[in-house]
Structure formats: structure tokens, C-alpha cells
Copies of this chain bind each other. A is one copy, B any other.
Amino acid sequence: MNPPNLDKTDIGILRLLQQDALLSNKQLALELNKSTATIHERVRRLKSEGYIKRSVAIVDGKKIGKSLIAYSQVQLKEHTDSALSSFEKEVVKFPEVMECYHMTGAFDFILRIVISDMDAYHNFLRSKLAQLSNIGTVQSFFVMSEIKTETAYPL
């Protein structure tokens, strides 16, 4: 399943738009040796079929005062379906939680939390996260340095 139903041109489009979503069809056409009309149709198809989910601007978190990134591992007390659903439903409401995954292994969920500083994190933990029902343990780890942050899949 690699490539699935994508030809070389489709792969090329995905590779290039993952690096820069603002590339014009003209630039893509030049790079991939196709006409702009062909590229236009391919891009339309890649979007309508869901290969490209969306295009977003990546903002510098530090420049807008989000200087602290935490990864918090959450273990729940109960693991019934309704307990899991209830946690998921509540945690996604917190704007500080930018990512949340249900995991295998020693804990249940991992959260990526983005916030201004440690005081704010402390406050978030005490007044928001720990207030949810069914929270067992929360273990927090903080990013000291970002070594690699890639949004583009290798193709």
C-alpha cells in the first residue's frame, strides 16, 4: 500500500505541498512537468478524497507567549467505555491541550499541553486537569529543547 492509488505526480504534489502549502499550481506544474490544468485537477482530487486534510499556517508559539510545552501522561482510575469517553469529551475542551492520544501501555492518555509558563501550568493542572472526575495519576514532562518538529510525512 505504498503508493496506494497515487501516481508519481500525486506523490510529488503531496511532498511539495507538505513543505509549502502556498505553492502555486504554476510552480507545481513546472516542478512536476505537467500543465497547470492537470495540477489543478490533481490537487482538487487529493483534497476531495481526503489525502490533504487541510492547509494551515504554523505559528511560532514562543513569539505569542506560549513558551512551555508539557507532555502529560494520564492514568484513569476506571476504564469502562463510558469513563474513557467521558474523559475524552472533557479534555478536548481545554484549549491548552493541543494534542491528546489514547495509548497502549503503562498509562492511558498522553497530552501535549502548550502554555505560557510553569505558573500557568501549575494552575492548569490544579484547577482544570486534576478537577476532571476519574483522574488517577498525572505525570508531567517538560520540553527543554525542540530537536525536530516535522509536519511532513516522508514520501
Decide yes or no: A55 and B20 within 8 Å by CB, A4-B63, A141-B103, A153-B98 being known contacts: yes
Contact A71 B103 (CB under 8 A): yes
CB proximity of A72 to chain B, nearest CB, Å: 11
Partner of A100, one of B1, B71, B110, B148: B148
Rounded to whole Å, the gap between the CB of A120 and the closest CB of chain B is 11
CB distance A103 to B51 under 8 Å? Answer: no
A104 CB contact (under 8 Å) in B63, B142, B154: B142
**With A4-B63, A56-B152, A63-B50 in contact, is A101–B145 under 8 Å at CB?**
yes
Q: Is the interface of A mostly helix, strand, loop or mixed?
A: mixed
Q: Are B59 and A148 in contact (CB under 8 A)?
A: no
Q: Known contacts being A2-B65, A103-B144, A110-B141, is A98 close to B60, with CB within 8 Å? A: no
| Complex alpha-carbon distance, A7 and B128, angstroms | 29
Is B97 touching A148 in the complex (CB atoms < 8 A)? yes
- Bound Cα distance from A2 to B20, whole angstroms: 28
Q: Is A39 an interface residue (CB 8 A)?
A: no
A17 CB, nearest partner CB in chain B, Å:
4
Which residues does A use to contact B, with CB under 8 Å?
1-4, 6, 14, 17-22, 50-61, 63-66, 69, 71, 88, 91-92, 95-107, 109-110, 114, 116, 140-155
